[in-house]
Amino acid sequence: MTRAWNTGIFQYSVGKYKEAEHWCGLGMHFLNHLRSLKSSYESQRTVGGSIPQMIGLYSEVLDKLDRAKGLLPNEE
């Protein structure tokens, strides 16, 4: 999960939003399967941060991807 997430964050940082969505999405998918380990991941810091920060950043990745596709107006 962490490796997928960190790969996605790297892709995001270099402007590869589609690849970032793929890898961050995979990390978020794995997050749903952690069950009892989820609490330890909630306190652990990764490149992307804690789980609430991961969710917020994943939302940013999806917004950037939508803008790159022309689905959302550019706010930048």
Q: What is the pLDDT along the chain (76 residues), one digit of tens a residue?
A: 888 888 998 998 898 888 988 998 898 888 777 776 666 666 665 555 667 777 788 888 888 888 887 765 655 5
pTM: 0.66
Give the Å distances, CA to CA, from 10 to 20, 23, 31, 75.
7, 10, 19, 22
Q: How many residues does the chain have?
A: 76
Give the Å distances, CA to CA, from 36 to 33, 40, 42, 58, 59.
9, 8, 11, 22, 25
